[in-house]
């Protein structure tokens, strides 16, 4: 294997069948076997290297995400064949500390080699390399529109429509999505929004205080956020929409805030919610969860959820947590 020179990665070609493989052995196992002694020599720095695996649906913004990581100083590789990941990790471990933060885009473009990814990730875990999976997705209609605007061909739509390719890809990626540390739904995001979300998640989060928290308020009539970890329905609370003076006001206004918080049910709900989160957050941190998205929904996403989202953010910030709030539907017409 050649060294890292001027940002260029030199890796030897790999035979998928591998004539030198032991019977029934996977290619990534061969890499692990050959690299064991090297990893042993550099094991002290392995835990200091962090990998971010950027994956997700075609058209969801993975290329934009990789550029953000490049700007943040990560060493980035696009479309690395999964079977090469163990050998690549060995290479990084021999960089004498020059490369500590690595972002890799690995997705369905790998074709039949993509199925090797789970074995490769198991190898990273076995050798002690920390990694996180960032999964990007978007709604079907948004992805179809993006493909039409760019006139690009979906990698799985060889014989069918773009929508059929998206649905097949979504199915094939489901297992990987379930292992993701962070899921970002880019359906309503601009490039700037995606950049801020990544920076919030991977730069500003204080890992010692538990997961970085995103609070999203929404209206059920516009759909539940796809990337939510916890979804809380607050439609049981009295609705300011039925108060003529409050109807046109947003949930950030003092009048709406006072109305919502003056309800006895609101105060009891907040108390129980606070207690639940104070129990859950340490459990999430203990399990290594670094990102948590809490979604609060009311009918239109303009009043009750907004008030409670702001109140919850205030409560968590007072206890030292990094919190980001997004009122997804507050400015939409009811």
Per-residue pLDDT of 106-143, as tens digits, reads 988 877 677 788 899 998 888 888 899 999 999 999 99
Print the domain residue range for 298: 214-327
Query: Are residues 260 and 196 part of one domain?
Result: no
Query: Are residues 150 and 233 part of one domain?
Result: no
On whether residue 17 sits in a domain, the answer given is no
Query: Are residues 148 and 244 part of one domain?
Result: no
Residue ending a domain, choose from 172, 204, 236: 204
Element (H, E) at 270: helix 264-286
pTM of the model: 0.58
Query: Are residues 198 and 52 part of one domain?
Result: yes
Query: Are residues 117 and 41 part of one domain?
Result: yes
222 CB burial (10 A radius; 0-12, 13-18, 19+):
middle
Distance in angstroms (rounded) separating the CA atoms of residues 266 and 104: 44
Element (H, E) at 78: strand 75-78
Number of domains in the chain: 2
- Mean pLDDT, range 30-56, rounded to an integer: 59
Question: Residue 46: which pLDDT band, with cuts at 50, 70 and 90?
Answer: low
On whether residue 62 sits in a domain, the answer given is yes
Identify the bridge partners of residue 280 per DSSP, sorted by sequence position: none
Distance in angstroms (rounded) separating the CA atoms of residues 308 and 270: 8
Query: Are residues 148 and 65 part of one domain?
Result: yes
62-71: per-residue pLDDT in tens?
999 999 999 8
CA angle 24, 28, 33 (to 5 degrees): 85
Angle, to 10 degrees, between the axis of helix 27-41 and the axis of helix 117-127? 20
Distance in angstroms (rounded) separating the CA atoms of residues 321 and 332: 29
**Alpha-carbon distance values, 6 to 3, 10, 193 (Å):** 10, 11, 31
pLDDT of residue 13: 39
In this predicted model, which residue has the larger pLDDT, 55 or 22?
55
CATH of the domain at 113: 3.40.50.300
In this predicted model, which residue has the larger pLDDT, 45 or 150?
150
Query: Are residues 70 and 143 part of one domain?
Result: yes
pLDDT of residue 39: 44
On whether residue 9 sits in a domain, the answer given is no
Residue whose C-alpha is closest to residue 188's, from 227, 215, 153, 154? 227
On whether residue 152 sits in a domain, the answer given is yes
On whether residue 314 sits in a domain, the answer given is yes
Token digits for 113?
């080699």
Average pLDDT, the chain: 82
Query: Are residues 183 and 90 part of one domain?
Result: yes
78-113: per-residue pLDDT in tens?
988 888 898 998 888 887 777 888 999 998 887 767
Query: Are residues 265 and 121 part of one domain?
Result: no
Question: Residue 209: which pLDDT band, with cuts at 50, 70 and 90?
Answer: low
On whether residue 20 sits in a domain, the answer given is no
Residue ending a domain, choose from 176, 204, 232: 204
- In the sheet that holds 291-298, the strands lie side by side as 230-233, 291-298, 212-219, 323-327
Residue ending a domain, choose from 204, 228, 256: 204
Query: Are residues 230 and 200 part of one domain?
Result: no
Distance in angstroms (rounded) separating the CA atoms of residues 212 and 184: 14
Question: Which sign does the torsion angle of CA 52, 53, 59, 60 carry?
Answer: negative
Query: Are residues 176 and 54 part of one domain?
Result: yes
Query: Are residues 230 and 170 part of one domain?
Result: no
């Amino acid at each position: 294997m050649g060294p890292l020179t001027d940002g260029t990665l030199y890796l030897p070609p790999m035979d998928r069948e591998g004539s030198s493989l032991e019977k029934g052995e996977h290619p990534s196992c061969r890499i692990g076997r050959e690299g064991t002694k090297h990893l042993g020599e550099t094991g002290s720095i392995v835990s200091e290297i962090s990998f971010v695996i950027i994956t997700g649906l075609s058209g969801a913004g993975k290329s934009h995400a990789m550029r953000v990581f490049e700007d943040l100083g990560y060493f980035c590789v696009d479309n690395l064949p999964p079977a090469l990941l163990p050998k690549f990790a060995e290479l990084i471990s021999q960089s004498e500390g020059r490369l500590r933060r690595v972002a890799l885009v690995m997705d369905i473009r790998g074709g039949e080699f993509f199925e090797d990814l789970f074995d490769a990730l198991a190898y990273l875990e076995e050798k002690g390399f920390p990694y996180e999976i960032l999964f990007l997705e978007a709604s079907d209609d948004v992805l179809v529109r993006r493909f039409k605007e760019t006139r690009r061909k979906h990698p799985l739509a060889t014989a069918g429509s773009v929508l059929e390719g998206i649905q097949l890809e979504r199915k094939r990626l489901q297992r990987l999505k379930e292992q993701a540390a962070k899921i970002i739904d880019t359906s309503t995001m601009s490039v700037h929004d995606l950049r801020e979300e990544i920076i919030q998640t991977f730069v500003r989060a204080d890992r010692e205080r538990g997961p970085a928290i995103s609070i999203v308020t929404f209206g059920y009539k516009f759909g539940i956020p796809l990337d939510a970890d916890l979804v809380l329905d607050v439609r049981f609370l009295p609705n300011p929409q039925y108060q003529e003076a409050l109807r046109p006001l947003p949930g950030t206004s003092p009048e709406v805030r006072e109305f919502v918080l003056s309800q006895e049910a609101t105060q009891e709900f907040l108390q129980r919610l606070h207690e639940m989160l104070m129990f859950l957050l340490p459990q999430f941190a203990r399990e290594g969860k670094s990102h948590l998205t809490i979604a609060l929904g009311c009918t239109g996403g303009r009043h009750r959820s907004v008030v409670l989202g702001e109140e919850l953010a205030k409560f968590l910030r007072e206890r030292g947590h990094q919190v980001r709030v997004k009122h997804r539907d507050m400015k939409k017409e009811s």
